[in-house]
């Protein structure tokens, strides 16, 4: 099959992050001309295997002059905007979040004003919706309850307005729970897996929260389909498995895959102050418009993830990754 992105100029922001690094690997496999934006301080360990195939620009999205200069040099055909501040719950500076997520997105779109691009994929987040009891559709009222969610919601609204004014083909995708290889050790799946591998006690909340978790490569498929679809313009799509379960359900699947006899210490940790108890996404729009379906099942995704951490646990020992 002919590679859609072959020899296309693709720019990926936040390329050193969990989602961004998988986007980079997919575009390298597609034989695109891949450029990435990462900050000076960024640890790009996730890109070790593909660094030789990348044009790396040490670029802070908050620096409009530098963004303009580098975008003008690259002249990207496609942009996958994965860069964000606050994905890690330990990142909670209001001013940094606003600067990176809102101003950074504005700067990136503004830089395209005179050169354009075929498609701008804006990676949003389910945190824009906040805690909801009802099924979450793309036009659901946005009620973010974190600085990450509120700045990403603001960025998405402004991005669509700017793109329309500049005649840029922009689509926002909002992933819900995402898991897979190379995720940070502080996140839910890696914390459990790495703790078990190191024979440490797995301390958790009571884990009664409901979540939808989808394997990373399925999510990347959604980004790719959105970029390829010329009819999808100025649209927003939820990306998720479409099924929610209590966190305990996912813990049990990991336990079974790891063949662990040790039970996690439920209730050892308190719930977060602004805990999101339930988010059930409606994914009918991405199914109908982009013909997207999760190709890799939850169980297969967990098996792949566990295998990767078993083979790469040394990359986390003694680090804050």
Task: Give the Cα separation of 277 and 207 in Å (integer).
Answer: 10
| CA distance linking residue 208 with residue 272, whole number of Å | 12
CA distance 192 to 262: 12
183-212+243-279+297-315 has the same fold as 9-177+213-239: no
pLDDT at 1: 56
Compute the CA torsion angle 101, 139, 144, 278 (nearest 10 deg). Answer: -130
Please state the CATH superfamily assignment of the domain spanning residues 9-177+213-239 in this structure: NAD(P)-binding Rossmann-like Domain (3.40.50.720)
Average of pLDDT values for 129-140?
Answer: 95
Mean pLDDT, to the nearest integer, of 126-133? 94
pLDDT tens by residue, 228-281: 999 999 999 999 999 999 999 999 999 999 998 888 999 999 998 888 899 999
Q: Which of 73, 277, 28, 296 is nearest to 181 (CA)?
A: 296
- Identify the H or E element spanning 301: helix 298-312
Q: Parse the chain into domains and list their residue ranges.
A: 9-177+213-239, 183-212+243-279+297-315
Residue 251, SS3 per DSSP:
helix
pLDDT for the residue 88: 74
What integer is the mean pLDDT of 43-53?
96
Structure confidence by residue, pLDDT tens digits, 143-180: 999 999 999 999 999 999 999 999 999 999 999 999 99
Evaluate whether 83 touches 99 at the Cβ level (below 8 Å).
no
pLDDT at 318: 83
Task: Specify the DSSP element, H or E, that contains 154.
Answer: helix 147-166
pLDDT tens digits for range 55-65: 999 999 999 99
- What are the tens digits of pLDDT across the range 29-40? 999 999 999 999
Q: Which residue has the tokens 């078990």?
A: 196
Instruction: Kindly indicate the confidence band of residue 129, based on its pLDDT and cuts at 50, 70 and 90.
Output: very high
What pLDDT score does 109 carry? 98
* CATH classification code of 183-212+243-279+297-315: 3.90.25.10
**Residue in 79, 88, 142 with CA at minimum distance from that of residue 116:** 79
């Amino acid at each position: 099959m002919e590679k859609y992105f072959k020899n296309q100029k693709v720019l990926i922001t936040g390329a050193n992050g969990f989602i961004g690094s998988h986007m980079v690997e997919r575009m390298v496999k597609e034989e695109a001309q891949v450029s990435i934006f990462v900050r000076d301080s960024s640890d790009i360990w996730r890109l070790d295997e593909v660094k030789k195939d990348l044009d790396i620009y040490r670029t802070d999205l908050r620096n409009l002059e530098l963004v303009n200069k580098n975008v003008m040099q690259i002249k990207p055909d496609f942009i996958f905007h994965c860069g964000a501040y606050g994905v890690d719950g330990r990142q909670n500076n209001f001013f940094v979040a606003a600067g990176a997520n809102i101003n950074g997105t504005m700067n990136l779109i503004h830089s395209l004003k005179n050169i354009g691009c075929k498609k701008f994929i804006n990676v949003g987040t389910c945190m824009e919706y906040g805690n909801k009891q009802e099924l979450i559709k793309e036009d659901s009222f946005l009620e973010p309850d974190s600085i990450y969610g509120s700045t990403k919601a603001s960025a998405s609204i402004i991005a669509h307005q700017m793109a329309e004014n500049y005649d840029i083909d922009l689509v926002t995708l909002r992933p819900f729970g995402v898991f897979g290889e190379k995720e940070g050790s502080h996140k839910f799946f890696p914390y459990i897996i790495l703790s078990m591998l190191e024979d440490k006690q797995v301390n958790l909340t009571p884990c009664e929260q409901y979540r939808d978790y989808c394997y990373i490569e399925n999510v990347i498929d959604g980004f790719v389909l959105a970029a390829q679809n010329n009819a999808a313009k100025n649209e927003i799509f939820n990306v998720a498995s479409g099924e929610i379960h209590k966190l305990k359900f996912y813990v049990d699947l990991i336990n079974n895959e790891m063949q662990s006899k040790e039970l996690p210490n439920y209730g050892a940790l308190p719930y977060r102050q602004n805990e999101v108890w339930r988010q059930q996404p409606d994914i009918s729009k991405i199914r109908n418009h982009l013909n997207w379906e999760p190709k890799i099942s939850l169980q297969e995704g967990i098996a792949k993830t566990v295998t990767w951490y078993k083979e790469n646990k040394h990359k986390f020992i003694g680090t804050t990754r």
